[in-house]
Amino acid sequence: MKANTILTCILLLGCAACATSRRPVQYVETRIGTAPSETRTAGLFGKNTEEFGQCLPAVLEPHGMNFWTPQTRDTEQKCIAPYYYLDSLLQGFRNSHWIVGGCTQDYGSMTLMPLAGTLRCSPEARASRVDHAHEVSTPSYYRNRLLDEGITAEMTGRFRAAIFRFTYDNAGDGYLVVNPNSDEGAGYVEVDTAKRQIRGYNPVHRIYQGWGEPAGYAGYFVVQLDRDLAEWGTFAGDSVVAGATVIEKQPGIGAYVRFRVNGTADPVTVRAASSFTDMAGALANLEAEIPHDDFDRTRRELSDIWDCRLGLISVEGGSVKDLTKFYSALYRSSFLPREFSDAEGRYWHGNEPCHQVAWLFNYAGEPWKTQRAVRHILETEYLGVPGGLSGNDDAGQMSAWYIFAALGFYPVCPATPYYIIGSPSFPRAEIALENGKTFTIIAENASPTNIYIQSATLDDIPYDKSYISHDDILAGKTLKFVMGPSPSQWGQTLPPAVL
């Protein structure tokens, strides 16, 4: 996860300097890594879960506590992500804590699902057909049609909270079903009829040391409706108890509420938030981040945040395919590390080993081999389609590698203040730094065939080092390359020894 952590440190506080004239968010394909891999090495090193990037098409604030995602799988089981592109049934919307791109497990999550006309409680029974033709998935907004319900579902959010808008085609009874995703049968749910809330928690359990044992904390949640309740109840599996307000410590538990809807002119607004500390923390997070029912306001806020985040690195000259891969990787690199603390500061305390190999030629005095290897990996192992990752994205690490490699440098050893130079993919890239300066990379003649560095300058001074220092980046210097189709003798000044 080192590459992702270093990338985060470079970008996390840089939004004060972000440009507003560009909208790279239009190039983000959030569903990359959610289908079986189609890359060159797909299937060579494993099947089943190893074929997937294990990513999510989530709505989130960068590094937020919750990844708000459509759900097609109802388990928190190890190596099963909440969403897969090829699934055709949607079970609801989850505040996921999935280690995006990993093969661990989700934890402390809940799922909510709107229904029309008929109550069905279990995830399998209530699942609705969906079609990608109706699906809109961006970092700040998700929309889909629940074909079996006649509902258009929309979702946006913030760091710890989300807001949903459910538009019903017809007037009549509407339902909202909420369940903690506890595979251990250890959750708790309650309905507060006066406040029009469903609250609960999902205890976290271990998966490695002491498999299935309590981890000592839980995901607490609150779901707030915008209208009066006509009916409510709880369920465990297919067993429904109308009028009940509390249920706990049984498999497949949840709660539901019924309310009146008046067709397309009367969309239902639902707000939700969570906390890893307690129920009071979840309620406070909701009021701190989304204390209103204005869906479009929150959507604009999150859209602006993503414009800022993605605008911190601007690249020029690439194809639409290249821009899609680049900004989609930057999106996936923005999930982790995640925030655990509440809005007021409280918190509960508690395939990648070879990423550097392609860059080691620089240490042997043959940087042109690094340039060739890195560009080959960028082209063959990262595709701009749902099956575009070779395997688990591992907490955004694979995507962070792509960002560094496409920019043209990589932190082979984070214990040293140096980045190894590879082969920049874009004719121009700019990184807005938190100190207000901009580090610029120019790659003259860069193209799919011109992958080799012929010469370089740093602030117009000839530069023959096959690495660049962290201080040079923070100084906002301009690193300019001249690229060509054949290897050259550039870069004979070797990186400092690690040991």
Residue 29 has pLDDT above 80, yes or no: yes
**453 compared with 49, residue with greater pLDDT:** 453
Distance CA 203, CA 109 (A): 9
pLDDT of residue 20: 42
Residues 340, 390 contacting (CB under 8 angstroms) = no
CATH architecture of the domain with residue range 352-484:
2-Layer Sandwich (3.30)
The dihedral of CA 55, 102, 66, 322: what is its sign? negative
428-454: pLDDT as tens digits? 999 999 999 999 999 999 999 999 999
Q: Which contiguous run of DSSP H or E holds residue 16?
A: none
pLDDT of residue 264: 93
Model pTM score: 0.83
Distance CA 125, CA 252 (A): 12
CA angle 20/25/30 to nearest 5° reads 160
Residues 111, 94 contacting (CB under 8 angstroms) = yes
pLDDT grade, residue 350 (50/70/90)? very low
**342 compared with 452, residue with greater pLDDT:** 452
Domain ranges of the chain: 24-312, 352-484
Residue 268 has pLDDT above 80, yes or no: yes
Tokens of 108: 């402390």
User: Would you state the torsion angle of the CA atoms of residues 277, 278, 279, 284, taken in this order, to the nearest 10 degrees?
Assistant: -40
pLDDT of residue 76: 87
96-145: pLDDT as tens digits? 998 887 778 889 999 999 999 899 999 999 999 999 999 999 999 999 99
Residue 14 has pLDDT above 70, yes or no: no
Residue 19 has pLDDT above 50, yes or no: no
pLDDT of residue 305: 96
Q: Is 97 exposed, middle or buried (0-12, 13-18, 19+ CB in 10 A)?
A: buried
CATH architecture of the domain with residue range 24-312:
Distorted Sandwich (2.70)
Distance CA 270, CA 162 (A): 8
